[in-house]
Amino acid sequence: MDGIIEAISSFASQEPAIYYLIIGIIGAVVLSAVVNIGAMYVIWLEVKLLGDFSARYGPNRVGGRWGLLQIVADAIKLFTKEDSIPASADKPVYVWAPIVASMATMLVAAAIPFGALYFNGKYYPLVVANMDISAFYVEAALSLLVIAAFMAGYSSNNKYSLLGAFRGIARMISYEVPMGVCVISVAIMAHSLNLAEIAQNQTLWYAFAQPLGFGIFIVALITDLGRIPFDQSEAEEEIICGYTTEYGGIRWGLILFQEYNNMLLGSILLTLLFLGGWAGPIIPVPGLSIISPLIWMFMKVVIVLWFLIWTRSALLRLRIDQVTDLGWKVLLPLSIVNLAWAVVVGSYFA
């Protein structure tokens, strides 16, 4: 085992370009499968949990008692639906919007450590592009979905879509700044902008070290993902389906999929930044000890997802002007307070 790692390391240092090409291709194939299947089961989890939270069964026929294959059935339905493009739409932009959304998701997936392997007392993060600035990069790439949403909304030539697109952008820009400041605060404490290192360096989870930043980041994350109480860009009762109103069949399915992909990736990001990443006691069973960080990571991510879905059934939707006000007038000053706190506490610990 050690020999293999040695060999890989030496190859990587000699031929970095080829090494990263191979890693990239393998990673892209594996991750696109993982992320897409992951998104399917995030959807399943959401449907099932929302059922529980409202005294309903949720999916319970297709794929056994838990309806595990319901989402596959839904996907098959989407594939067999007619693909119709509205006559008045701006066709190239309309067609490219779901593709851009998918590209944005994959860009995030490339830089996020999905977990780590524990081996010989060392953690090996499972990440394709282990960049020095991956925290900054991921935060930037997460907001790319909004660009896709804007493309979708503006090209549809539909009033609901138009409002949805503008709302989506407004929502994003109000929370981008506080979110960025939160990431900076974390980076200050971790002395690094690399996500794997941030996760690794958390002796005390940053959720406890900077609770204010944790709260702000959750709010900003929910906003970025466009979930209740911040789902104004597709508020069904106001603007039907927001920017996806004119999308149907597989095109709509793709956009929906990317949203849930991003939800998964966002939860992973939250776990990495604030919940200690894959940190957790190593299970002292020979086979399991290697993947025990992965197990911890998985459990934390599921808990975060559960929390996001719980929020959806518990809260009401805010009005869009209240959302932007909250972002600019409350969260931005608070995030700066948090930054100061991080500097003070960070200096103290250092």
Q: Footprint of other proteins on residues 326-345 (CB under 8 A)? A: 328-329, 332-333, 336, 339-340, 343
Considering the complex, state which of residue 182 and residue 301 has its C-beta at the smaller distance from other proteins: 182
- The answer to whether 324 contacts other proteins (rule: CB under 8 A) is yes
Nearer to other proteins among residue 235 and residue 305 (C-beta): 235
The DSSP 8-state label assigned to residue 318 in this structure reads: P
Residue 321 interacts with other proteins (CB under 8 A): yes or no? yes
| Positions 262 through 301 that interact with other proteins (CB under 8 A) | none
Judged by CB under 8 A, how many residues of this single chain contact other proteins?
Answer: 120
Residue 111 contacts other proteins per CB under 8 A? yes
Distance CA 244, CA 234 (A): 8
Q: Which of 40, 115, 176, 279 binds other proteins (CB under 8 A)?
A: 176
Shortest Å distance, C-beta 300 to other proteins: 19
User: What Å distances lie between residue 292 and 179, 272, 282, CA to CA?
Assistant: 30, 16, 6
Choose one: 18-26, 113-121, 266-274, 282-290; the region binding other proteins (CB under 8 A): 18-26
- Residue ranges in 141-160 that form contacts with other proteins under rule CB under 8 A: 156-160
174 binds other proteins (CB under 8 A): yes
What DSSP state is assigned to residue 116? E
319 binds other proteins (CB under 8 A): yes
Q: How far apart are CA 255 and CA 350, in angstroms?
A: 44
Dihedral of the alpha carbons of 233, 235, 236, 238, in degrees to the nearest 10: -100
Residues 100, 148 contacting (CB under 8 angstroms): yes
Residue 335 · residue 216 · CB < 8 Å: yes
User: Is the CB of 30 or the CB of 204 nearer to other proteins?
Assistant: 30
Among 297, 303, 253, CA closest to 272: 297
- Considering the rule CB under 8 A, would residue 315 count as an interface residue with other proteins? yes
Closest separation between CB of residue 219 and other proteins, Å?
11
**Residue of 228, 273, 297, 304 that binds other proteins (CB under 8 A):** 228
Residue among 323, 172, 169, 143 nearest 243 (CA): 169
Classify 114 as helix, strand or coil.
coil
Rg, C-alpha atoms of the chain: 21
CA triple 37-144-208, angle to 5 deg: 75
Three-state DSSP state, 74:
helix
Q: Does 173 bind other proteins (CB under 8 A)?
A: yes
- d(C-alpha 207, C-alpha 182), whole Å: 11
Among 39, 128, 149, 152, indicate the residue that binds other proteins (CB under 8 A): 128
Q: Cβ of residue 13: shortest distance to other proteins, in angstroms?
A: 4
- Interaction between residue 79 and other proteins (CB under 8 A): yes
The single-letter code of the amino acid at 2 is: D
User: Binding to other proteins by residue 229, rule CB under 8 A?
Assistant: yes
Give the whole-angstrom CA distance, residue 347 versus residue 340: 11
Q: Which of 93, 133, 147, 291 binds other proteins (CB under 8 A)?
A: 133
Q: Does position 201 bind other proteins by CB under 8 A? A: no
Q: Contact region for other proteins (CB under 8 A) — 202-210, 225-233, 265-273, 286-294?
A: 225-233
Q: Which of positions 37-76 make contact with other proteins (CB under 8 A)?
A: 50-57, 60
